[in-house]
Structure formats: structure tokens, C-alpha cells
């Protein structure tokens, strides 16, 4: 069954007609929901991932959300390779003609103490999250400038307070926020915007499975001011807003979509 991630009564059908989304980490739970929402409102899309089969399967599912939607799933793409991303951009232009919106969503994470984290493990996460985001910008920028397009980086809130066992991801996400801010200044004169979106704990995602045990979820939920876990649709709706004309004058900032969770984030 095709999932419906966007608030149908909030957004006008067709607001993204003619637009093309380019999304790394696009087969993942959160990013594929973001793309599905944009596609349901008229966009076409390319989703990229390392896993061939999962990426193509998710692309087909997303395409089914709207008759006539074109959604390409490009597997075998590692964001640590700018050449691979340049190839994906060439395919996107050949098949879909343009790139308006870029979601830098590819990420890696796992829990580890600093003592057990090897230099290569730290580097792997920095390379996927931060270098991968930079590579994605590098590969897409010429096309995005042509369309006065928009960058959206999927960030996090862990680095606002610090948190144990995620020094690698925390360092990467803090740097991604800084990268987005730098781009907003440099690219603003071209009409290109750059923002971040920081999801809180989202139910049923691979990220949650990796970072929290099932036995911790009740306590985690009670600690969230809005008293529930997030849904992918919460992130999808914020994404629609940031790519919509309602956000025309928004750049160099971020939206936290977390039910208020980070304000009560525990360090222990
Ligand atoms: C300690 C680990 C480890 C673990 C891997 N390593 N897993 N160290 N604890 N659990 C080490 C390896 O031993 C190796 O170091 C180094 O990391 C690289 O591992 P590889 O498997 O060779 O790397 P690679 O295949 O590139 O995989 C990258 C990865 C992996 C990040 C390690 O987990 C991955 O592909 N993740 C992608 C999917 C993912 O993480 N999704 C969740 C995102 S959630 P040595 O020294 O042995 O060579 C998310 C949310 C964040 O980002 C915000 C939450 C609020």
C-alpha cells in the first residue's frame, strides 16, 4: 500500500508541478517520506542510495503516489564519491531535465564510546554525513543555480547539548549546520537558499532502531514536551513548507521538528 506522508488538507495539489527533487539517502525512512510528499504535490524526483534493489523499489513506491509521476531510483551511489554524484546529476538532467530541490540526507550512525571508536569509524561517519553533503552540493550546484533552487540538509539536535556515544555523528551534524549557513551567504546572491531540518526521534525508522532500545521508548516519549514520538509525516510537512513559495525568504536557518524534545534532551 502506498503511504501518504503529507497533510492533504494543508498543501495545495500541484504546488511543485514541473520541479525536480534530487535526494541522497533517498531510500531511507525519513528521506523517502520527504520525497514522497513533494512528489504527491507535483514534483518529479531522483533518489540515490548505496543499495541498488532497495533504492529502486522505494522509487517505484514513491512514483505510485501520483499518476504520471517520474521517480528514478539510482542505486550503487556512495556520497563519498563526487564522481558518482556527478554521474547521477548527468542522468537526472538527461531523464528529468533539471534540478530544483536538493535534499542532503545520506547519513551513517551507530552508538560507540569514544574509546571504542576507531579513527576510521569516526572518519567513515564524517565522510558520509559531512563530506557527502559537500560532494552533493559540488555535483549539483551548477544545475541548482540555473533554477534558483534550494538546498535542504537533514541535520539533528544532538550537538545542541552534546550526547554520549555519538561523537562522530555530533561532530558531523554540527559541521553540516555550519556548511549550510556558509552556503546561504555565498549562494544567496544567486537566488539559491540553504537550510537545515533537524528531526527529533521518529518512530519506526532505522535511525531509532540503531540509537534507542525498545525498552527506552516509553521514557523517551514521556520526556518529549508534546508527549509523542515523531512521524515521518511531521518531517515531510516541514520539508514541503521549506520548498514551497511560503519559504521564499528563508535561508541560512534551520527548523527543528522534534515535539520540543531537544530542550529536555538527557546527557545521561
Ligand atoms: C564501532 C563501528 C561500528 C559500531 C562500524 N564501525 N560499525 N565501530 N561500533 N557499531 C567501524 C568499523 O569497524 C570500521 O572501522 C568503520 O566503522 C567503517 O565501517 P564499515 O562497515 O567499513 O563502513 P561502511 O560500510 O562505510 O559503513 C558506514 C557505517 C554504517 C556508518 C559504519 O553503519 C552504515 O553504512 N550506515 C548507514 C546507515 C545508517 O547508519 N543509518 C542510520 C542513520 S541514523 P575499522 O577501524 O574497523 O576499519 C542517523 C540519525 C542521526 O543518522 C540523528 C539521530 C537523532
Q: How far is CA 247 from CA 5, 11, 50, 52, 150, in A?
A: 20, 13, 31, 34, 10
- DSSP-assigned states of every residue in 151-174: EEEE--SHHHH--TT-HHHHHHHH
At 36-82, the pLDDT tens digits run 999 999 999 999 999 999 999 999 999 999 999 999 999 999 999 99
Contact 138, 59 (CB under 8 A): no
Cα–Cα nearest to 69, from 92, 36, 98, 106: 36
In whole angstroms, give the CA distance from residue 26 to residue 16.
18
Looking only at the bridges linking them, the beta strands covering 101-104 and 71-74 are unpaired
- The closest residue, in CA terms, to atom 50 on ligand 1 is 207
Q: Is the pLDDT score of 190 beyond 90?
A: yes
State how far the Cα of 186 lies from the Cα of 203, in Å rounded to an integer.
Answer: 36
Q: How far is CA 194 from CA 137, 238, 252, in A?
A: 10, 14, 6
**Mean of the per-residue pLDDT values for the chain?**
96
What ipTM did this prediction achieve? 0.96
Ligand 1 lined by 169 (C-beta under 6 Å): yes
Pull the grid cell for residue 252: 541560512
Q: Is the shortest distance between the CB of 176 and ligand 1 below 6 Å?
A: no
pLDDT at 1: 56
With b meaning 16 or more CB within 10 Å and e meaning fewer, what string describes 203-225? eebebbeebeeeeeeeebbebbe
DSSP 217: H
Give the chain's radius of gyration (CA, Å): 17
Average pLDDT over residues 170-191: 98
CATH topology of domain 20-263: Rossmann fold (3.40.50)
Query: What mean pLDDT is predicted for residues 20-31?
Result: 98
pLDDT band at residue 8, thresholds of 50, 70 and 90?
confident
pTM above 0.95, yes or no: yes
Packing angle between helix 232-243 and helix 29-40, nearest 10 degrees?
A: 50
Residue 251 has pLDDT above 70, yes or no: yes
Catalytic residue among 32, 173, 180, 184: 173
Query: Is 149's C-beta closer than 6 angstroms to any atom of ligand 1?
Result: no
CA nearest to 184, candidates 174, 173, 194: 194
CA distance 19 to 147: 9
Domain ranges of the chain: 20-263
**Ligand 1 close to Cβ of residue 108 (< 6 A):** yes
pLDDT computed for residue 3 by the predictor: 73
Note if 173 is an active site residue. Answer: yes
Quote the ligand 1 centre to 110 CA distance (angstroms): 6
Amino acid at each position: 500500500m502506498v503511504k501518504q506522508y503529507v497533510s492533504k488538507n494543508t498543501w495545495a495539489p500541484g504546488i511543485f508541478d514541473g520541479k525536480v527533487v534530487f535526494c541522497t539517502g533517498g531510500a531511507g525512512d525519513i528521506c523517502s517520506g520527504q520525497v514522497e510528499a513533494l512528489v504527491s504535490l507535483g514534483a518529479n524526483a531522483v533518489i540515490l542510495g548505496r543499495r541498488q534493489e532497495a533504492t529502486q523499489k522505494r522509487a517505484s513506491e514513491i512514483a505510485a503516489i501520483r499518476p504520471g509521476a517520474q521517480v528514478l531510483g539510482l542505486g550503487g551511489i556512495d556520497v563519498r564519491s563526487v564522481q558518482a554524484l556527478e554521474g547521477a546529476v548527468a542522468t537526472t538532467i538527461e531523464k528529468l531535465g533539471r534540478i530544483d530541490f536538493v535534499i542532503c540526507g545520506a547519513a551513517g550512525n551507530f552508538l560507540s564510546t569514544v574509546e571504542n571508536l576507531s579513527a576510521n569509524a569516526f572518519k567513515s561517519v564524517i565522510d558520509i554525513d559531512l563530506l557527502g553533503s559537500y560532494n552533493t552540493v559540488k555535483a549539483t550546484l551548477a544545475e541548482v543555480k540555473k533554477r534558483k533552487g534550494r538546498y535542504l540538509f537533514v541535520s539533528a539536535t544532538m550537538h545542541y547539548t552534546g550526547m554520549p556515544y555519538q561523537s562522530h555523528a555530533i561532530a558531523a551534524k554540527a559541521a553540516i549546520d555550519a556548511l549550510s549557513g556558509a552556503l546561504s551567504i555565498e549562494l544567496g546572491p544567486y537566488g539559491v537558499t540553504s537550510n537545515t531540518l533537524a528531526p527529533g526521534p521518529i518512530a519506526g525508522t532505522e535511525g531509532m532502531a540503531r540509537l534507542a532500545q525498545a525498552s527506552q521508548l516509553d521514557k523517551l516519549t514521556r520526556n518529549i514536551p508534546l508527549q509523542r514520538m515523531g512521524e515521518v509525516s511531521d518531517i515531510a510537512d516541514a520539508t514541503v513548507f521549506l520548498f514551497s513559495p511560503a519559504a521564499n525568504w528563508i535561508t541560512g536557518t534551520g527548523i527543528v521538528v522534534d515535539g520540543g524534545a531537544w530542550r529536555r534532551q538527557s546527557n545521561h
